[in-house]
Amino acid sequence: MFTGIIKKTAKVKSRPDAASGRLEIFNPNLKGVKAGDSIAVNGICSTVVNVGRSLCFQYMPETIARSTAGFFKEGETVNLEESLRVSDKLDGHIVMGHVDTVGTIVDIKPEGNSKVLTISPREPKKFMKLIAEKGSVALDGVSLTVVSVGKSNFTVKLIPYTLENTVFKEKLPGSLVNIEFDILAKYISRLCK
């Protein structure tokens, strides 16, 4: 479990290949990380399989199909968050690291010192019911508040700190993001069926 508060970023050393699903990122010197630990990589709950000069993870085909993991490029920056400990503060919201779908950034507009991002998820008919104005959503693992909701997209606003300290400083219109909808919204939607 995670909170969506990004503490570190790192660069991709080698992208997941189709056969092994193995991803390598340059080790950002996370203290005490060992094989078997869970780290969210751009919001994807990822098990560490090897620690050295790089951190290695392995993804199954389901993860590659449902997230942006298959699109990672060498040298690309990724968000990292270590798993939540019982004694940690819950600063963001409850993030499971289970990516629901990929979204496209369709627009980025400046607004004062912030930026407004408009996101369109794959299969909006299926997923837009899980978005609520002033509710929570995780984009590439970052806990964000939904500002507005349309028929096929939604908006979030990013403050300068988030823009500077996450992958969002490199995102452009057309960029893909991992979307994890709020766990409570998913359970309520399921119960209402």
Per residue in 18-64, pLDDT (tens digit) is 788 999 999 888 888 999 999 999 999 999 999 999 999 999 999 99
∠ Cα 107 113 114 (to 5°): 35
Per residue in 128-150, pLDDT (tens digit) is 999 999 999 999 999 999 999 99
The pLDDT-based confidence of 190 (bands split at 50, 70, 90) is confident
CA–CA separation, 167 and 6 (whole Å): 10
Model pLDDT, residue 26: 94
DSSP string across 127-157: HGGG--TT-EEEETTEEEEEEEE-SS-EEEE
Task: Tell me the pLDDT of the chain averaged across its residues.
Answer: 94
Per residue in 74-107, pLDDT (tens digit) is 999 999 999 988 888 888 898 999 999 999 999 9
Q: What is the mean pLDDT of residues 156-166?
A: 96
Whether the per-residue pLDDT at 127 is higher than 90: the answer is yes
The pLDDT-based confidence of 5 (bands split at 50, 70, 90) is very high
Query: Domains of the chain by range and CATH?
Result: 8-82 (2.40.30.20), 101-191 (2.40.30.20)
Model pLDDT, residue 189: 87
